[in-house]
Amino acid sequence: MEKKGPIPKQKAGKIKKQAISNEELLSGIRNGDKALLARSITLVESTKLAHLEKAEELISNCLKNKTDSIRIGITGVPGVGKSTFIEVFGSYLTKTGKKVAVLAVDPSSSYTKGSILGDKTRMETLAKDPNAFIRPSPASDSLGGVTRKTRETIVLCEAAGYDVILVETVGVGQSETAVHSMVDFFLLLKLAGAGDELQGIKRGIMEMADAIVINKADGNNLKNVNLAQTEFNRALHLYPSKENEWTPKVLSCSALENKGIAEIWSMIETFTHLTRKNSHFFKNRAKQNKNWFLQTVDSLLHHKFYQNSTTKVQLQKLLVKIEKNEISPFTAAKRLVNGTKQ
């Protein structure tokens, strides 16, 4: 018998994905190719300088697509049932003929920088739905419950023909406000009977909410849910009226028993009709684009500053001095920004 030799390196090694042009990516996105949409999002999320220009061109081409989408931000504390709610809500929407994209942000470890990215596992039924697309992404070091590239990902999904974009935030409480600046409707999920009512009544995230939905309204928890609805309704009356003429609602649902889901979508449709009619919907989108521009400027300046060779050298020298208590962090920061030599 002929003795087989070692497997050639090119066969044993990891097969590299063939480079694909922007024209092919754009065509795939517009034709609803989920694999190419996923590759496009990976390109946009890449931190490699070589990918930056290609990603910018792709985003610019996708922005030319006129869409009639609704962007919905969904937030709430860990354990409130965001993933279960989104799966049930998304499945309801696809049954009505909608195409749904779910952008789920997973928390990243501050030590390893890794993320579990388990949203497709938690939304198993929706993940198999041909009219749904789920994209889990790591939060990395971004604040506000979303990733740095969530806006760009929304644009790609809209170009792919998704009618409803659901942005699920990390779920860390009061800090989750960044998503508000990139969606049309901001939905806050709450719990009843778990000490969550007091947190919900605090200013900040409550003022931004277009609706509060009390989840897990089932079983022995129904009495607590009714009490929580009353409390949240009272709290909402303390806040000033919204510019868009919308009065925030307080609803309840049971994602587990699939109750109250249709009412939530009906409420969002009413909101969309109102804000489109009074033009606030489009003014809000324009305002978001301005914020996107300013945040991009900040990001580019930050990157350019820290990539400067002189800055890198000065930074290391100042860090050593700070560690030895030879200079205060404030003085060191001024010297670095002003380019003062050590």
Q: In residues, how long is the chain?
A: 342
pLDDT band for 237, please (50, 70, 90 cuts): confident
Q: Which residue has the higher pLDDT, 66 or 257?
A: 257
Phi, psi (rounded to 5 degrees) for 9: -60, -40
Q: Grade residue 115 by pLDDT with cuts at 50, 70 and 90.
A: very low
Q: For residue range 57-99, what is the model confidence (pLDDT) as tens digits?
A: 999 999 887 778 999 999 888 888 888 999 999 999 999 999 9
Contact 143, 178 (CB under 8 A): yes
Q: What does DSSP assign to residue 324?
A: T
Domains 22-64 and 65-278 share a fold: no
Q: Looking at residue 108, what is its pLDDT? A: 40
How do the domains of the chain map onto residue ranges? Answer: 22-64, 65-278, 292-338
Give the confidence band of 240 by pLDDT, cuts at 50, 70, 90: confident
pLDDT in tens, 285-333: 999 999 889 988 988 898 889 989 999 999 999 999 999 999 999 999 9
- 3-state per-residue secondary structure call for 205-245: HHHHCCEEEECCCCHHHHHHHHHHHHHHHHHHCCCCCCCCC
Residue-level pLDDT at 167: 92
pTM: 0.83
Mean per-residue pLDDT, 101-107: 80
Q: Does position 162 have pLDDT exceeding 90, yes or no?
A: yes
pLDDT of residue 188: 92
At 17 the pLDDT is 62
Residue 275 has pLDDT above 90, yes or no: yes
CATH topology of domain 22-64: 1.20.5
Q: What is the band of 239 on the pLDDT scale with cuts at 50, 70, 90? A: confident
Given CA atoms 313, 318, 319, 324 in this order, what sign does their dihedral have?
Answer: positive
The mean pLDDT value of the chain amounts to 83
Q: Is 130 exposed, middle or buried (0-12, 13-18, 19+ CB in 10 A)?
A: exposed
pLDDT at 171: 59
Q: Rg of the chain over CA atoms, in angstroms?
A: 23
Alpha helices in the chain (DSSP H): 9-12, 22-30, 34-45, 49-63, 82-95, 119-122, 124-127, 150-159, 196-201, 205-208, 222-236, 261-277, 280-307, 309-323, 329-338
CATH classification code of 65-278: 3.40.50.300
